[in-house]
Chains A and B, each alone.
Chain A
Amino acid sequence: MRQLLHNPAGRAVLSLVLVVAVGVCFNADGTFFRWDTHRDMLRLVSVYGILAAAMTIVVVAGGIDLSVGSLLGLSAVCFSLFSIQWGWGALPSVCATMCIGAVCGSISGGAIGRFKVQPFIATLAMMVFARGLAKYISSGQKISTAVIGADGAYVYIPVPGIFDVIGMRVWDDNIAVVTLLMIVALLAAWVFLSQTVPGRELYAIGGNDEAARFSGVSIPVNTVLAYALSGLFCAAAGIAQAAQELQGDPEAGATYELSAIAMVVIGGTSLRGGTGGIHLTILGILIIGYLEKILSINAVGEDTRLMLTGIIIIAAVLFQKKGA
């Protein structure tokens, strides 16, 4: 037990077990014991989970990315625009959207790495800008399959195939495609952070950027890379969001950055940088996901829900700190 509490992963596992135990107690007439409840929870957290993977990369490097929610919204709008309204194929739409995400991310990264703007400020600016751009592109309306026809009235056009592919479930209906996307994103982020040289260098920068610089690590290059990857992941999350909603909502992803940060921190990755990793974020994703699902199946009112979520976040983080 002591051993378990000694590392952040052990503490996060214990928090997760406690949350699941709450679900077992308040199981809403047995709903909690059904597989589809868990499957739906995994679908629900997928978009957040992809953002949390993005967040982990920049947090490890001692930064933070407040723009993930807005970039998700921007990507959802762009993807819907390309594939629904402009009729582009699946591949060009996905690639173009991912490019936009990566470019936005590298702009933040450039401001931080090259011009020494604080990550909080640089990504705050990107958060506001990207939301504005999403609204500008979409004229503030959701980009859906209802388009204005030749006579000025709205007509309905069929949903592009790529939406159905991402929105469906596979393996005998047992897992959502978006959940698989999240797993791929988490895996990619894990490989990058723990198995590649630039990934290891991000830990060095997050731990002590002066020391990293003296040992020959290029801070501007690595910072741009970290935020570009974050933007790329946000674009993937935006595509997943649009495919599930069957539309691109310029308001999509508002406040999602807060959930992503909560997932990273509850897992045990410190916002100071240099420590932690994807394995912890996965636990954080599951903790928040189960918490949301348990509150939802029990139809807990919004007021109580907010208070409980706040209490549980602070309790989980304190628990992480106490052990450290």
Chain B
Amino acid sequence: MTMRIVSILLYVLVFSAPSFPQTPAFTIGMSQCNLGEPWRVQMNADIKKAAAEHPELRVTFKDAQNDNLRQSAHIDEFIRSGVNLIIVSPKEAAPLTKPISDAYKKGIPVIVLDRRILGNDYTCFIGADNKKIGRAAGRWIAKLLGGKGKIVELKGLMTSTPGQDRHFGFREGIKGSGCEVIFEADMKWLEPNARKEMESALSRFSQIDLVYAHNDPGAHGAFLAAKAAGRDGKMKFIGIDALPQEGRMYVKQGILAASFEYPTGGREAVETALQILRGKKVAREITLPSRVFTKDSIDKGGELLP
């Protein structure tokens, strides 16, 4: 009985395969390091959306679930299956440099998205600059507060590069102004943790002028804590990432005073991939521009950061 079911299944599989619509001209392998983060889900969605506008492209997605070795295996699989181009957003530089370099040396163009690898064996790197965004946020906040104020900083994770860059960039940005960080804590990018840390800050300090969180869920968690304490009207909340359904929504609702965009680069990756596949030359480094969204600028699509 089992054998029969298996053979029927096999039969269906074998004979349904050739009935796919005409084979697209190019196959792209997209290796994502972790789909547990909304920002990375958005990156994949951006790639999918951009690729859908080009019927000649077919994109295969793989999710490494935050595991270097699994991601490295995914890249090997892409090489063996003969994809025309690989887009990879690596988990970590060192363990993924070799598989990416192998692919590149076999003549498969590689676009590295968001996080870097070691060495030069890739076609193009696309990413935004967290430190620059942090600095811009610092300057913007100093201006908003009129040069002085008490700030709570809810940090992503100080053992991660984005956390460090958003922290040190911000400190550079507020340097020289009268703005002072009175409380800082790691919230591990998670909203419930941000709420917990903010509750502590609220019971410890009677005056807080602004909360700078390293991501929008963090800023939202801080807002919820302040709202529960009846103090949300007395302070402003600033976040980073500005995903359409998250940060930008919070700005629209008036919860956040501003959200700084950390672009996913999904669309740019697909456009660059098309150029490479059509034999055009592309820049080796593409630094994505970032925008700030405020209540005034959100309907106009935000404001480009200098």
Contact = CB atoms under 8 A, between A and B. Distances in A.
B35 A140 contact: yes
Interface in B257-273: none
B36 A251 contact: yes
A156 B249 contact: yes
Interface residues of A, number: 36
B224 A246 contact: yes
A37 interface: yes
Contacts of A34: 203
Interface stretch (A58-66, A94-102, A289-297): A289-297
A99 B306 CA distance: 53
Interface stretch (B116-124, B128-136, B169-177, B180-188): B180-188
- Tell me which of A29, A43, A153, A302 has the highest count of chain B C-beta atoms within 10 A of its own C-beta: A302
Contacts of B229: 36
A17 B245 CA distance: 45
Contacts of B158: 301-302
Interface in B174-230: 183-186, 188, 191-192, 195-197, 199-200, 202-204, 221, 224, 228-229
A170 interface: no
Nearest to B201: A299
A301 B38 contact: no
Contacts of B199: 40, 43-44, 296
Contacts, number: 81
Interface residues of B, number: 33
A299 B200 contact: yes
Contact of B253 (A43, A156, A241, A303): A156
B224 A297 contact: no
A37 B188 CA distance: 21
B244 A293 contact: no
A183 interface: no
B38 A142 contact: yes
B228 A169 contact: yes
A296 B188 contact: no
Contacts of B184: 299
A154 interface: yes
A154 B245 contact: yes
B249 A296 contact: no
A146 B245 contact: yes
Nearest to B152: A299
B116 to A, nearest CB: 24
Interface of B: 35-36, 38, 41, 157-159, 183-186, 188, 191-192, 195-197, 199-200, 202-204, 221, 224, 228-229, 244-246, 248-249, 252-253
Interface of A: 28-29, 31, 34, 36-37, 40, 43-44, 135, 139-142, 144, 146, 153-154, 156, 167, 169, 241, 244-246, 249, 251-252, 292-293, 296-297, 299, 301-303
7 contacts: A141-B38, A144-B249, A169-B228, A249-B191, A251-B36, A252-B192, A302-B158
